[in-house]
Amino acid sequence: MTEKKEIRAGFLDSLWNFFVSVRLSVVVLLSIAVLSVIGTVIPQNQNPNYYLKAFGPFYYQLMATMDVFDMYHSWWFQLLILILVINIVICSIDRLQKMWSVIFPKSLNFNLKRFRSRSSRRDFNAGLPVDELKGLFEKRLAKKFSYCKTVSTEKGFALTAEKGRWTRLGVYGVHLSVVVLLIGALIGLKFGFEGFVRIAEGQTVDAIRLRNSGTSLKLGFAIRCDDFNIEFYKGGNRPKEFRSSLSILEDKNVIFEKDIIVNDPLSYKGINIYQSSWERLNKEGPAMQGPQKVPEIIEVKFQSAASGIIYAQSSSLGKTIKIPEKLGLFELKSYLPDASFQNVSLGPVIIGEYTNPKGETQTIRVPFRFPNFDKMRKGDVIISVVANLPHPVPVEPLYATGLQVNYDPGVWVVYAGFVMMIAGCAVTFFMSHQRLVVEVRNEGRAVKVMVSGTSNKGKIGFDMRVQRLADQLAGLVSKSKNKD
Q: Which residues bind another protein (CB under 8 A)?
A: 22-23, 25-26, 29-30, 32-33, 36-37, 39-41, 43-44, 72, 185, 194, 233, 238-242, 261-265, 272, 274-276, 404-406, 408, 411, 414-415, 418, 421-422, 425-426, 429-430, 458-461, 463-464
Q: How far apart are CA 365 and CA 297, in angstroms?
A: 18
Query: Of 233 and 341, which has the nearer Cβ to another protein?
Result: 233
Question: 11-31: string of b/e by CB count within 10 Å (b at 16+)?
Answer: eeeeeeeebbeeebbeebeee
Q: Binding to ligand HEM by residue 96, rule CB under 6 A? A: no
In angstroms, what is the minimal distance from the CB of 77 to another protein? 10
In angstroms, what is the minimal distance from the CB of 63 to ligand HEM? 27
Candidates 22, 54, 142, 281: give the one binding ligand HEM (CB under 6 A): 22
Query: Of 25 and 304, which has the nearer Cβ to ligand HEM?
Result: 25
Is residue 346 within 8 A of residue 365, CB to CB? The reply is yes
Q: How far apart are CA 276 and CA 263, in angstroms?
A: 10
Q: Binding to ligand HEM by residue 315, rule CB under 6 A? A: no
Query: Of 79 and 464, which has the nearer Cβ to another protein?
Result: 464
| Size of the chain, expressed as the number of residues it contains | 484
Q: How far apart are CA 191 and CA 409, in angstroms?
A: 7
Query: Of 36 and 388, which has the nearer Cβ to another protein?
Result: 36
> Closest Cα to residue 455, out of 162, 171, 117?
162
Q: Binding to ligand HEM by residue 25, rule CB under 6 A? A: yes
* Partner that binds at residue 376, options another protein, ligand HEM, none, CB closer than 5 to 8 Å by kind: none
Q: How far apart are CA 125 and CA 59, in angstroms?
A: 79
Q: Binding to ligand HEM by residue 84, rule CB under 6 A? A: yes
In angstroms, what is the minimal distance from the CB of 25 to ligand HEM? 3
Q: Binding to ligand HEM by residue 473, rule CB under 6 A? A: no
Question: 136-172: string of b/e by CB count within 10 Å (b at 16+)?
Answer: bbbebbeeebeebeeeeeeebbbbbbbbbbebbbbbb
**Total Cβ atoms within 10 A of residue 35:** 15
> Closest Cα to residue 165, out of 425, 431, 422?
431
Question: 344-375: string of b/e by CB count within 10 Å (b at 16+)?
Answer: ebbbbbbebebbeeeeeeeebbbbbbbbebbe
Candidates 133, 161, 174, 321: give the one binding ligand HEM (CB under 6 A): 174
Is residue 176 within 8 A of residue 419, CB to CB? The reply is no
Q: Binding to ligand HEM by residue 419, rule CB under 6 A? A: no
Residue 274, H or E segment:
strand 271-280
Number of residues that bind ligand HEM (CB under 6 A): 13
Compose the 110-129 pattern: x for residues touching ligand HEM by CB under 6 A, - for all others: --------------------
Report the amino acid identity of residue 477: V
Query: Of 145 and 242, which has the nearer Cβ to another protein?
Result: 242
In angstroms, what is the minimal distance from the CB of 130 to another protein? 31
Q: How far apart are CA 298 and CA 387, in angstroms?
A: 5
Q: Binding to ligand HEM by residue 423, rule CB under 6 A? A: no
Burial (CB < 10 A; 0-12, 13-18, 19+), residue 441, is: middle
* Partner that binds at residue 309, options another protein, ligand HEM, none, CB closer than 5 to 8 Å by kind: none
Q: Binding to ligand HEM by residue 27, rule CB under 6 A? A: no
Candidates 69, 87, 159, 440: give the one binding ligand HEM (CB under 6 A): 87
- Kindly give the residue spans of alpha helices, DSSP state H, lying in 313-431: 411-430
- Kindly give the residue spans of alpha helices, DSSP state H, lying in 192-268: none
In angstroms, what is the minimal distance from the CB of 37 to another protein? 7
In angstroms, what is the minimal distance from the CB of 192 to ligand HEM? 23
* Partner that binds at residue 362, options ligand HEM, another protein, none, CB closer than 5 to 8 Å by kind: none
* Partner that binds at residue 88, options another protein, ligand HEM, none, CB closer than 5 to 8 Å by kind: ligand HEM
Q: How far apart are CA 130 and CA 448, in angstroms?
A: 9
Query: Of 64 and 86, which has the nearer Cβ to ligand HEM?
Result: 86
* Partner that binds at residue 87, options ligand HEM, another protein, none, CB closer than 5 to 8 Å by kind: ligand HEM
Q: How far apart are CA 188 and CA 202, in angstroms?
A: 32
Contacts of 227 (CB under 8 A, 6+ apart): 201, 243, 244, 245
> Closest Cα to residue 423, out of 138, 57, 105, 171?
171
* Partner that binds at residue 80, options ligand HEM, another protein, none, CB closer than 5 to 8 Å by kind: none
Candidates 428, 432, 434, 455: give the one binding ligand HEM (CB under 6 A): 428
Give residue 128's Cα distance to chain centre: 65
Is residue 184 within 8 A of residue 412, CB to CB? The reply is yes
Q: How far apart are CA 169 and CA 148, in angstroms?
A: 21
* Partner that binds at residue 189, options another protein, ligand HEM, none, CB closer than 5 to 8 Å by kind: none
In angstroms, what is the minimal distance from the CB of 273 to another protein? 8
Q: Binding to ligand HEM by residue 134, rule CB under 6 A? A: no
In angstroms, what is the minimal distance from the CB of 122 to another protein? 13
List of residues contacting ligand HEM (CB under 6 A): 22, 25, 84, 87-88, 91, 95, 171, 174-175, 178, 425, 428
